[in-house]
Amino acid sequence: MQSTPYAEVNDLLDILRSSLDEILSGKLVGLYAFGSLVTGEFDPDLSDIDLAAAIAADLDDTEYARLETMHAAIAQANPRWDDRIEVGYISVELLRSFDPRDCIAVISPGEPFHRRAANDSWLFNLRVLREHGLTLSGPPPRSLISPIASDDLARALGGAMRMWRAWLPDAEPVMHAKPQAYVILTMCRALYAHQHAAFVSKREAARWAAPELPEWSSLIRDALAWYDSRQDMDIDLDATRTETLRFTRYVTGRIINDND
């Protein structure tokens, strides 16, 4: 198994991998890391651990229940990582012929372990995983994930922006600094992907976007500070929320209009 530069993370990954081997037996084809662990911007105090488990077939009810129990036990034993682990359980068939309507099992920050449609967001994850993924067990990800065409990514990005656009009227009345930072940096990342047909970390995208978008540069630089802060920063929540949502309307509108 390839390891990360972080001993604590490696210990956690060893526990997770051995648990998956036991629960899924021969059904586990491979386990892979992506996200900040492979982009070089991982922060042990802030970053999430992003993983994909390739499985030979969809989970049955017994496997699903055991995995749900396993994730709860890992969070209880490792409170520092509670709500900071994402694992998508994806069949090899879906990896080879992706359909955003197909069902996967996933646990991610802010969401419990559950089944849901893969959605276009996982197409972006698979692109990064195929090109840069870290193999924790199993064959190289390129041997499992079919090439993802730029046209498919553009379509998926347009769909993702329409989902964000639909979210805007329902945005939380109070958004603290870190949630606002997540939204702003996600928009920077989407715009970078739209213009360059490539995917980079949120921080790298924000550093690119700040000089590219002078009107928004102050907001983007503030968002980087909020994102990297160890605690939720004391900011003018009403004023910043207004600007955050305005920036989201700008980016989603720009990408949607270009795709139409």
What is Dmax (Cα atoms) for the chain? 54
Q: Rounded to whole angstroms, what are the CA distances from 215 to 72, 89, 209, 249, 250? A: 44, 41, 11, 14, 11
- Mean pLDDT value of segment 113-126: 91
181 and 103 in a common domain: no
Is residue 2 classed as helix, strand or coil in its secondary structure? coil
- The model's pLDDT over 142-163, given as tens digits with 9 standing for 90+, comes to 999 999 888 888 888 998 899 9
163 and 136 in a common domain: no
Domain span at residue 104?
A: 7-145
pLDDT-derived band of residue 59, with 50, 70 and 90 as boundaries?
very high
Q: State which of 116, 145, 174 marks the end of a domain.
A: 145
21 and 106 in a common domain: yes
- The model's pLDDT over 161-210, given as tens digits with 9 standing for 90+, comes to 999 999 999 999 999 998 999 999 999 999 999 999 888 888 999 999 99
168 and 97 in a common domain: no
What share of the chain has pLDDT > 70, as a percent? 99
d(CA 15, CA 28): 15
Report the CATH number that the domain containing residue 137 is assigned in CATH. Answer: 3.30.460.10
Quick check: 217 pLDDT over 90? yes
Q: Does any domain span residue 2?
A: no
pTM: 0.86
- Mean pLDDT value of segment 62-66: 98
Structural domain count, the chain? 2
128 and 101 in a common domain: yes
194 and 159 in a common domain: yes
139 and 175 in a common domain: no
CA nearest 127: which of 84, 160, 174?
160
Mean pLDDT of the chain: 93
